[in-house]
């Protein structure tokens, strides 16, 4: 079997035509979806980038691996300890890419990700690794150039192969070449974000909020702040243009496979490491939460043995895709994998989902979200200097952009979500190799990595800018962390 896995960083599904987007961002991706299976409730168990890909390749939750942050003690995978074998071949902890290799697949990765995040453990099972060399400054052309070389070489030489590609363009700062232009100049932006909502955001605060888009993200034609729907259009044009640029290069890969006579026998997977808040919860162009928008990602699978034109609405984690591929090739589930195969969904169109999901974030905030029925309940343990209450509840079916917190209106739904969260944590800790929940390690270290050590300076900044009410709210919420902050000083 030949497998091409396309991992498009920061790609949210509702900005793809196949998921109903009104702009023509993804004609090549859409063509793959028409011939395969599209998943509508597919979530990263752990966000953002490094925790997500660590979970993906290990098929294990971050609460089990300990890898949930971008720095500090819980950025790396915990050592196995006394039970660590001579190697992982056929061990309970073996990565699923390693199983592909032992089943005869030539495995290769084209990505700068392991070097950018120092996540070298995700290379387990890969025979080849090509770093495109720009530390995530790559554009789609840099990646496709290397991939086309591989497809016209190794792909034609090997009977079975697995090629993983990593595109970065939809990750800020939207580095699509200027000569590419703006294909959406005359297309309206999503209309859910109004001037009234933006005005509320500007009275609030937080990293990558409406008034605080960092200078490092600035590119020609992008706004310095989000002050109006016109600013938002310019901003979202940058994101959507980046998606279209990637899609063009996916088209080149499909053409190359067809020219080599490989397209019809190749299983193609399109997904992402996490989504991207674009105004939701007052985060613009970043992935700082354990909410529906950051955690939900696309999954499109197409191949010779898969259903055509099928839509799966069940709940799945991204850690489930590895076990699914392993079952597809006749391999075995490993004892320590948290992922479970959904093979019947892609071969027969049958239900193979989970009753609910719990998603986590610890690099920009410390949160866990519970996705159940048509709800998303978010429990915030550390807000990462954002204007978040301890609990948020959103009706995802009717309010997918999370504009109305229903915690006070729906106490019975909040209670159910908290019960499911407690149930999940208890189950995971009962099967953990460690007695410690890594979320609490992160908090005791000073909070999520990207905002750690910035609390006092941020409060001072808010007051200097005359945003005293915002500073008061932040100080009130962070009283419980003062002992930790004092230890930092």
CATH number corresponding to 2-354: 3.40.720.10
Tokens found for residue 323: 């076990």
Query: How far apart are alpha carbons 83 and 86 in whole angstroms?
Result: 10
Residue that is written with structure tokens 């190749």 in the block: 266
According to DSSP, the residues that pair with 354 across neighbouring strands are 315
Reference 52, options 18, 90, 84, 8; nearest CA is 8
Which residues are CB-neighbours of 409 under 8 A, at least 6 positions away? none
Q: Please tell me if the domain spanning 2-354 has the same topology as the one spanning 359-455.
A: no
Reference 438, options 55, 120, 53, 24; nearest CA is 55
Which residues are CB-neighbours of 38 under 8 A, at least 6 positions away? 18, 19, 298, 299, 300, 310, 311, 312
Tokens found for residue 292: 């529906």
> 81: exposed, middle or buried (C-beta count within 10 Å: 0-12, 13-18, 19+)?
exposed
pLDDT of residue 473: 96
CA distances (Å), origin 6, targets 168, 270, 300: 11, 5, 10
pLDDT of residue 126: 98
Q: Which CATH class is domain 359-455?
A: alpha beta
pLDDT of residue 216: 59
Reference 484, options 360, 347, 382; nearest CA is 382
Per-residue pLDDT tens over the stretch 119-137: 999 999 999 999 999 998 9
Q: What is the pTM of this model?
A: 0.97
Query: How far apart are alpha carbons 363 and 70 in whole angstroms?
Result: 6
Ranges of residues in the chain with a pLDDT under 50 are none
Q: How many CB atoms lie within 10 A of CB 77?
A: 18
> 304: exposed, middle or buried (C-beta count within 10 Å: 0-12, 13-18, 19+)?
exposed
> 59: exposed, middle or buried (C-beta count within 10 Å: 0-12, 13-18, 19+)?
buried
**8 Å CB contact between 264 and 303:** no
| CA atoms lying within 13 Å on the CB side of residue 282 | 24
**What are the respective helix, strand and coil percentages of the chain, to the nearest 5?**
40, 15, 45
Query: How far apart are alpha carbons 3 and 468 in whole angstroms?
Result: 55
**What ranges do the domains of the chain cover?**
2-354, 359-455, 456-489
CA distances (Å), origin 300, targets 35, 253, 309, 366, 413: 10, 16, 10, 29, 31
- The phi-psi region of residue 20 (left if phi > 0; otherwise alpha if psi is between -120 and 50; otherwise beta) is left
CA angle 443, 95, 38 (to 5 degrees): 85
Tokens found for residue 185: 């100049």
pLDDT of residue 95: 95
**Residue 205 dihedral angles phi and psi, to the nearest 5°:** -160, 175
Per-residue pLDDT tens over the stretch 77-87: 999 888 888 88
pLDDT of residue 215: 66
Q: What is the CA radius of gyration of the chain?
A: 22
DSSP string, 221-256: T--SS--SHHHHHHHHHHHHHHHHHHHHHHHHHHHH
Q: Print burial letters for 210-241: b (CB count within 10 Å at least 16), e (below 16).
A: bbbbeeebeeeebbeebbebebbbbbbbbbbb
Residue that is written with structure tokens 């961002």 in the block: 25
Q: Which helix (H) or strand (E) holds 155?
A: helix 154-157
Give Cα 158 to chain centroid, integer Å.
Answer: 31
Query: How far apart are alpha carbons 311 and 127 in whole angstroms?
Result: 34
According to DSSP, the residues that pair with 393 across neighbouring strands are 377
Residue that is written with structure tokens 């790559």 in the block: 138
According to DSSP, the residues that pair with 443 across neighbouring strands are none
């Amino acid at each position: 079997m030949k497998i091409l896995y396309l991992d498009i960083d920061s790609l949210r599904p509702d900005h793809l035509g196949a998921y109903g987007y009104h702009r023509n961002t993804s004609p090549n991706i859409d063509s793959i979806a028409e011939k395969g299976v599209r998943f509508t409730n597919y979530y990263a168990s752990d966000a953002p980038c490094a925790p997500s890909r660590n979970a993906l390749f290990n098929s294990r939750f971050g609460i089990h691996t300990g890898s949930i942050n971008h720095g500090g003690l819980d950025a790396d995978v915990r050592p196995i300890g006394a039970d660590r074998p001579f190697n992982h071949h056929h061990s309970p902890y073996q990565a699923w890419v390693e199983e592909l290799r032992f089943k005869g697949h030539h495995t290769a990765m084209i990505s700068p990700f392991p070097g950018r995040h120092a996540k070298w453990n995700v290379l387990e099972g890969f025979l080849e690794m090509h770093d495109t060399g720009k530390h995530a400054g790559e554009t789609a052309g840099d990646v496709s150039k290397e991939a086309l070389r591989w497809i016209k070489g190794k792909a034609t030489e090997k009977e079975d192969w697995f090629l993983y590609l990593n595109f970065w363009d939809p990750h800020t700062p939207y580095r699509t070449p200027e000569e590419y232009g703006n294909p959406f100049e005359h297309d309206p932006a999503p209309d859910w974000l109004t001037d009234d909502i933006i005005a509320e955001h500007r009275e609030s605060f937080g990293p990558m909020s409406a008034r605080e888009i960092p200078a490092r993200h600035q590119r020609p034609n992008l706004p310095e702040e989000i002050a109006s729907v016109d600013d938002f259009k310019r901003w979202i044009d940058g994101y959507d243009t980046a998606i279209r640029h990637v899609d063009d290069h996916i088209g080149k890969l499909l053409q190359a496979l067809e020219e080599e006579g490989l397209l019809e026998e190749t299983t193609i997977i399109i997904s992402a490491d996490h989504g991207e808040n674009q105004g939701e919860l007052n985060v613009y162009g970043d992935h700082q939460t354990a909410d529906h928008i950051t955690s939900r990602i696309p999954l499109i699978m197409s191949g010779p043995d898969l259903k055509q034109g099928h839509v799966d609405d069940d709940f799945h984690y991204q850690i489930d895709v590895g076990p699914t591929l392993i079952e597809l090739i006749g391999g075995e589930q490993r004892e320590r994998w948290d992922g479970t195969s959904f093979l019947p969904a892609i071969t027969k169109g049958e239900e193979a989902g989970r009753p609910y999901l719990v998603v986590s974030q610890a690099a920009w905030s410390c949160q866990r979200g519970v996705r159940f029925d048509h709800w998303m309940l978010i429990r915030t343990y550390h807000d990462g200097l954002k204007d978040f209450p301890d609990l948020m509840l959103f009706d995802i079916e009717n309010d997918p952009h999370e504009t109305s917190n229903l915690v006070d209106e729906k106490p019975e739904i909040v209670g159910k979500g908290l019960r499911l969260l407690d149930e999940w944590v208890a189950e995971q800790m009962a099967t953990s190799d460690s007695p410690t929940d890594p979320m609490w390690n992160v908090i005791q270290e000073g909070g999520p990595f990207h905002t750690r050590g910035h609390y006092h300076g941020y409060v001072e900044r808010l007051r200097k800018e005359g945003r005293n009410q915002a500073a008061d709210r932040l100080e009130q919420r962070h009283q419980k962390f003062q002992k930790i902050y004092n230890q930092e000083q």
